[in-house]
Amino acid sequence: MKLLKITLIATLCLSVFCCKNEKNSEEIKANTETSNELKIIPFEHASMILKYGDTNVYVDPTGESSAYEGFGKADIILITDIHGDHYSFKTLFEFDLESTLIIAPKAVVDKFPKDFNPTYKILNNNEKTEAKGIEIEAIPMYNLREEALKFHPKGRGNGYVLTINNERIYISGDTEDIPEMRNLKNIDKAFVCMNLPYTMTVESAASAVLDFKPKTVYPYHYRGTDGKSDVELFKKIVNDSIKSINVELIKWY
Protein backbone atom coordinates (compact mmCIF):
# COMPACT_ATOMS: atom_id res chain seq x y z
CA MET A 1 0.00 0.00 0.00
CA LYS A 2 2.84 2.41 0.94
CA LEU A 3 4.61 1.68 -2.36
CA LEU A 4 1.38 2.27 -4.26
CA LYS A 5 0.88 5.61 -2.45
CA ILE A 6 4.40 6.79 -3.32
CA THR A 7 3.88 5.73 -6.95
CA LEU A 8 0.61 7.70 -7.12
CA ILE A 9 2.26 10.82 -5.65
CA ALA A 10 5.17 10.54 -8.09
CA THR A 11 2.78 10.13 -10.99
CA LEU A 12 0.75 13.16 -9.85
CA CYS A 13 3.88 15.30 -9.44
CA LEU A 14 5.09 14.32 -12.90
CA SER A 15 1.69 15.21 -14.34
CA VAL A 16 1.71 18.65 -12.66
CA PHE A 17 5.30 19.27 -13.78
CA CYS A 18 4.44 18.38 -17.39
CA CYS A 19 1.35 20.59 -17.35
CA LYS A 20 3.33 23.51 -15.91
CA ASN A 21 6.05 23.11 -18.53
CA GLU A 22 3.45 22.88 -21.25
CA LYS A 23 1.82 26.09 -20.01
CA ASN A 24 5.18 27.87 -19.82
CA SER A 25 5.97 26.73 -23.35
CA GLU A 26 2.66 28.12 -24.55
CA GLU A 27 3.34 31.46 -22.81
CA ILE A 28 6.84 31.68 -24.31
CA LYS A 29 5.44 30.85 -27.73
CA ALA A 30 2.68 33.44 -27.36
CA ASN A 31 5.16 36.12 -26.30
CA THR A 32 7.39 35.27 -29.24
CA GLU A 33 4.51 35.36 -31.68
CA THR A 34 3.26 38.75 -30.44
CA SER A 35 6.66 40.41 -29.95
CA ASN A 36 6.22 42.42 -33.15
CA GLU A 37 2.71 43.55 -32.31
CA LEU A 38 2.26 47.05 -30.95
CA LYS A 39 2.03 47.11 -27.15
CA ILE A 40 0.55 50.11 -25.37
CA ILE A 41 1.86 50.88 -21.88
CA PRO A 42 -0.11 53.75 -20.30
CA PHE A 43 1.45 55.72 -17.45
CA GLU A 44 -0.69 58.71 -16.57
CA HIS A 45 -2.76 61.29 -18.39
CA ALA A 46 -0.78 61.83 -21.63
CA SER A 47 2.30 59.70 -20.90
CA MET A 48 2.74 56.29 -22.47
CA ILE A 49 5.14 53.90 -24.16
CA LEU A 50 4.39 52.41 -27.55
CA LYS A 51 6.47 49.25 -27.75
CA TYR A 52 7.05 47.50 -31.05
CA GLY A 53 9.44 44.59 -30.92
CA ASP A 54 12.64 45.98 -29.43
CA THR A 55 11.73 49.58 -30.22
CA ASN A 56 10.32 51.86 -27.51
CA VAL A 57 8.57 55.10 -28.36
CA TYR A 58 8.04 57.22 -25.25
CA VAL A 59 5.23 59.75 -25.64
CA ASP A 60 5.22 62.85 -23.41
CA PRO A 61 7.12 61.24 -20.53
CA THR A 62 6.59 63.10 -17.25
CA GLY A 63 6.75 62.31 -13.55
CA GLU A 64 9.29 60.11 -11.79
CA SER A 65 11.76 58.57 -14.22
CA SER A 66 11.89 55.49 -11.96
CA ALA A 67 8.36 54.62 -13.13
CA TYR A 68 9.82 53.81 -16.55
CA GLU A 69 12.43 51.36 -15.26
CA GLY A 70 11.98 47.84 -16.54
CA PHE A 71 10.31 48.85 -19.79
CA GLY A 72 13.48 49.35 -21.82
CA LYS A 73 15.15 52.66 -22.61
CA ALA A 74 13.59 55.04 -25.09
CA ASP A 75 14.64 54.80 -28.72
CA ILE A 76 12.40 57.72 -29.64
CA ILE A 77 10.79 60.32 -27.38
CA LEU A 78 7.88 62.28 -28.83
CA ILE A 79 6.88 65.52 -27.12
CA THR A 80 3.69 67.27 -28.16
CA ASP A 81 3.73 70.64 -26.36
CA ILE A 82 5.40 72.89 -23.79
CA HIS A 83 3.02 72.35 -20.86
CA GLY A 84 4.19 70.39 -17.82
CA ASP A 85 1.91 67.42 -18.45
CA HIS A 86 3.70 66.88 -21.79
CA TYR A 87 7.19 68.27 -21.42
CA SER A 88 9.18 67.65 -18.24
CA PHE A 89 12.85 68.54 -18.38
CA LYS A 90 13.36 66.89 -14.99
CA THR A 91 12.12 63.56 -16.35
CA LEU A 92 14.16 63.81 -19.55
CA PHE A 93 17.30 64.79 -17.65
CA GLU A 94 17.08 61.65 -15.51
CA PHE A 95 16.83 59.31 -18.51
CA ASP A 96 19.80 57.69 -20.20
CA LEU A 97 19.45 59.48 -23.53
CA GLU A 98 22.46 57.98 -25.27
CA SER A 99 21.13 56.60 -28.59
CA THR A 100 17.72 58.23 -27.96
CA LEU A 101 16.20 60.61 -30.51
CA ILE A 102 13.87 63.31 -29.18
CA ILE A 103 11.30 64.59 -31.67
CA ALA A 104 9.48 67.77 -30.72
CA PRO A 105 8.16 71.06 -32.10
CA LYS A 106 10.45 74.10 -32.04
CA ALA A 107 8.56 75.62 -29.09
CA VAL A 108 9.61 72.65 -26.94
CA VAL A 109 13.22 72.55 -28.11
CA ASP A 110 13.48 76.28 -27.39
CA LYS A 111 12.84 75.42 -23.72
CA PHE A 112 15.80 73.02 -23.48
CA PRO A 113 18.43 74.41 -21.09
CA LYS A 114 21.65 75.51 -22.80
CA ASP A 115 23.67 72.72 -21.17
CA PHE A 116 21.17 70.03 -22.23
CA ASN A 117 22.43 68.47 -25.46
CA PRO A 118 20.43 65.40 -26.42
CA THR A 119 20.05 64.17 -29.98
CA TYR A 120 16.89 65.82 -31.23
CA LYS A 121 14.98 66.70 -34.35
CA ILE A 122 12.59 69.61 -34.65
CA LEU A 123 9.36 68.60 -36.35
CA ASN A 124 6.70 71.21 -36.90
CA ASN A 125 3.12 70.93 -38.14
CA ASN A 126 2.71 69.00 -41.41
CA GLU A 127 6.36 67.88 -41.50
CA LYS A 128 7.45 64.24 -41.66
CA THR A 129 10.48 62.24 -40.67
CA GLU A 130 11.50 58.61 -40.21
CA ALA A 131 13.33 57.01 -37.31
CA LYS A 132 13.90 53.36 -36.37
CA GLY A 133 11.77 52.35 -39.37
CA ILE A 134 8.82 54.39 -38.07
CA GLU A 135 7.31 57.15 -40.19
CA ILE A 136 6.34 60.14 -38.04
CA GLU A 137 4.11 62.97 -39.23
CA ALA A 138 3.40 66.09 -37.17
CA ILE A 139 -0.31 66.97 -37.14
CA PRO A 140 -1.60 70.37 -35.98
CA MET A 141 -3.17 70.59 -32.53
CA TYR A 142 -4.91 73.72 -31.30
CA ASN A 143 -8.01 75.22 -29.72
CA LEU A 144 -11.05 76.50 -31.60
CA ARG A 145 -13.17 78.07 -28.85
CA GLU A 146 -12.50 81.78 -28.39
CA GLU A 147 -12.12 81.42 -24.62
CA ALA A 148 -9.56 78.62 -25.05
CA LEU A 149 -7.30 80.06 -27.75
CA LYS A 150 -4.78 81.12 -25.12
CA PHE A 151 -4.14 77.49 -24.13
CA HIS A 152 -2.98 76.02 -27.45
CA PRO A 153 -2.44 78.40 -30.38
CA LYS A 154 -2.23 76.86 -33.82
CA GLY A 155 1.30 75.99 -34.91
CA ARG A 156 2.94 75.65 -31.50
CA GLY A 157 2.36 71.99 -30.61
CA ASN A 158 2.11 68.72 -32.47
CA GLY A 159 -0.19 65.79 -32.63
CA TYR A 160 1.46 62.84 -34.38
CA VAL A 161 0.59 60.09 -36.82
CA LEU A 162 3.01 57.17 -36.61
CA THR A 163 3.19 54.37 -39.13
CA ILE A 164 4.42 51.23 -37.38
CA ASN A 165 4.27 47.83 -39.09
CA ASN A 166 1.69 49.16 -41.57
CA GLU A 167 -0.51 50.47 -38.74
CA ARG A 168 -1.32 54.16 -38.55
CA ILE A 169 -1.46 55.46 -34.97
CA TYR A 170 -2.77 58.94 -34.18
CA ILE A 171 -1.84 60.79 -30.98
CA SER A 172 -3.95 63.91 -30.67
CA GLY A 173 -1.99 65.95 -28.15
CA ASP A 174 -3.93 68.91 -26.73
CA THR A 175 -6.51 69.83 -29.30
CA GLU A 176 -10.12 70.42 -30.09
CA ASP A 177 -12.03 68.72 -32.89
CA ILE A 178 -10.09 70.54 -35.58
CA PRO A 179 -10.51 69.92 -39.33
CA GLU A 180 -7.07 68.29 -39.49
CA MET A 181 -8.30 65.64 -37.07
CA ARG A 182 -11.66 65.15 -38.77
CA ASN A 183 -9.93 64.71 -42.14
CA LEU A 184 -7.55 61.95 -41.05
CA LYS A 185 -7.68 58.78 -43.16
CA ASN A 186 -6.99 55.10 -42.50
CA ILE A 187 -6.22 55.40 -38.80
CA ASP A 188 -5.90 52.05 -37.05
CA LYS A 189 -5.44 53.33 -33.49
CA ALA A 190 -6.23 56.79 -32.14
CA PHE A 191 -5.49 58.40 -28.78
CA VAL A 192 -7.96 61.25 -28.39
CA CYS A 193 -7.95 63.85 -25.60
CA MET A 194 -11.06 65.29 -23.88
CA ASN A 195 -10.74 67.61 -20.90
CA LEU A 196 -12.11 71.02 -20.11
CA PRO A 197 -11.27 73.83 -20.15
CA TYR A 198 -8.06 72.96 -21.99
CA THR A 199 -9.10 70.77 -24.92
CA MET A 200 -12.63 69.65 -25.81
CA THR A 201 -15.81 68.08 -24.52
CA VAL A 202 -16.62 64.39 -24.68
CA GLU A 203 -19.27 65.22 -27.29
CA SER A 204 -16.81 67.11 -29.51
CA ALA A 205 -14.26 64.30 -29.27
CA ALA A 206 -16.91 61.72 -30.19
CA SER A 207 -18.10 63.83 -33.11
CA ALA A 208 -14.56 64.04 -34.52
CA VAL A 209 -14.01 60.30 -34.08
CA LEU A 210 -17.25 59.59 -35.94
CA ASP A 211 -15.86 61.66 -38.82
CA PHE A 212 -12.43 60.06 -39.19
CA LYS A 213 -13.50 56.57 -38.08
CA PRO A 214 -10.41 54.96 -36.55
CA LYS A 215 -10.59 51.20 -36.11
CA THR A 216 -9.80 51.55 -32.40
CA VAL A 217 -9.90 54.66 -30.23
CA TYR A 218 -8.42 55.15 -26.77
CA PRO A 219 -9.72 58.10 -24.74
CA TYR A 220 -6.73 59.60 -22.94
CA HIS A 221 -5.75 62.93 -21.38
CA TYR A 222 -9.22 63.22 -19.84
CA ARG A 223 -8.51 64.88 -16.48
CA GLY A 224 -9.59 68.52 -16.32
CA THR A 225 -10.10 71.16 -13.65
CA ASP A 226 -13.43 69.64 -12.59
CA GLY A 227 -12.27 66.02 -12.48
CA LYS A 228 -12.22 63.36 -15.15
CA SER A 229 -14.32 63.37 -18.31
CA ASP A 230 -17.02 60.75 -18.75
CA VAL A 231 -15.28 58.26 -21.03
CA GLU A 232 -18.18 55.82 -20.72
CA LEU A 233 -20.40 58.48 -22.28
CA PHE A 234 -17.82 58.95 -25.03
CA LYS A 235 -17.92 55.22 -25.75
CA LYS A 236 -21.73 55.23 -25.82
CA ILE A 237 -21.96 58.18 -28.22
CA VAL A 238 -19.46 56.61 -30.60
CA ASN A 239 -20.90 53.11 -30.54
CA ASP A 240 -24.52 54.25 -30.72
CA SER A 241 -23.62 55.64 -34.14
CA ILE A 242 -20.90 53.24 -35.37
CA LYS A 243 -20.70 49.94 -33.53
CA SER A 244 -17.65 48.80 -35.51
CA ILE A 245 -15.36 51.42 -33.90
CA ASN A 246 -13.63 49.70 -31.02
CA VAL A 247 -13.55 52.05 -28.02
CA GLU A 248 -10.93 50.83 -25.54
CA LEU A 249 -11.06 52.24 -22.02
CA ILE A 250 -7.68 51.67 -20.41
CA LYS A 251 -6.43 52.85 -17.03
CA TRP A 252 -4.63 56.19 -17.11
CA TYR A 253 -5.24 57.35 -13.55
Q: Domain containing 122 — which CATH number?
A: 3.60.15.10
Instruction: Identify whether residues 174 and 210 lie together within a single domain.
Output: yes
- The answer as to whether 252 is a domain residue is no
Instruction: Identify whether residues 102 and 203 lie together within a single domain.
Output: yes
Query: How many CB atoms neighbour CB 145 within 10 A?
Result: 14
Instruction: Identify whether residues 118 and 83 lie together within a single domain.
Output: yes
Phi and psi, residue 83, nearest 5°: -70, 155
Segment 104-140, tens digit of pLDDT = 999 999 999 999 999 999 999 999 999 999 999 999 9
Q: Is 80 exceeded by the pLDDT of residue 14? A: no
Segment 214-223, tens digit of pLDDT = 999 999 999 9
* For the chain, percent of residues with pLDDT exceeding 90: 85
Q: Is 155 helix (H, G, I), strand (E, B) or coil?
A: coil
Q: ∠ at Cα 13 (11, 15), nearest 5°?
A: 70
Q: Is 50 exceeded by the pLDDT of residue 95? A: yes
Q: What is the pLDDT of residue 36?
A: 76
Residue 136, CB half-sphere, CA atoms under 13 Å: how many? 26
- The answer as to whether 253 is a domain residue is no
Q: For residue 80, give the nearest of 131, 136, 146 by alpha carbon.
A: 136
Instruction: Identify whether residues 111 and 153 lie together within a single domain.
Output: yes
Instruction: Identify whether residues 23 and 50 lie together within a single domain.
Output: no
Are 229 and 20 a contacting pair, CB within 8 Å? no
Q: What is the pLDDT of residue 35?
A: 60
Amino acid at 239: N
Q: Mean pLDDT, the chain, as a whole number?
A: 88
- The answer as to whether 226 is a domain residue is yes
Q: Is 237 helix (H, G, I), strand (E, B) or coil?
A: helix
**What pTM, to 2 d.p., does this model score?**
0.85
| pLDDT greater at residue 33 or residue 42 | 42
Q: What is the mean pLDDT of residues 72-82?
A: 98
Domain count, the chain: 2
Q: What is the mean pLDDT of residues 65-89?
A: 97
CA 170/CA 187 separation, integer angstroms = 7
CA 123/CA 158 separation, integer angstroms = 8
Instruction: Identify whether residues 46 and 62 lie together within a single domain.
Output: yes
- The answer as to whether 15 is a domain residue is yes
Instruction: Identify whether residues 184 and 137 lie together within a single domain.
Output: yes
Instruction: Identify whether residues 18 and 61 lie together within a single domain.
Output: no
Instruction: Identify whether residues 95 and 11 lie together within a single domain.
Output: no
Instruction: Identify whether residues 28 and 53 lie together within a single domain.
Output: no
Q: What is the pLDDT of residue 12?
A: 36
Instruction: Identify whether residues 73 and 192 lie together within a single domain.
Output: yes
Segment 137-185, tens digit of pLDDT = 999 999 999 999 999 999 999 999 999 999 999 999 999 999 999 999 9
Instruction: Identify whether residues 25 and 43 lie together within a single domain.
Output: no
* For the chain, percent of residues with pLDDT exceeding 70: 86
Instruction: Give the domain extent around 167.
Output: 37-247
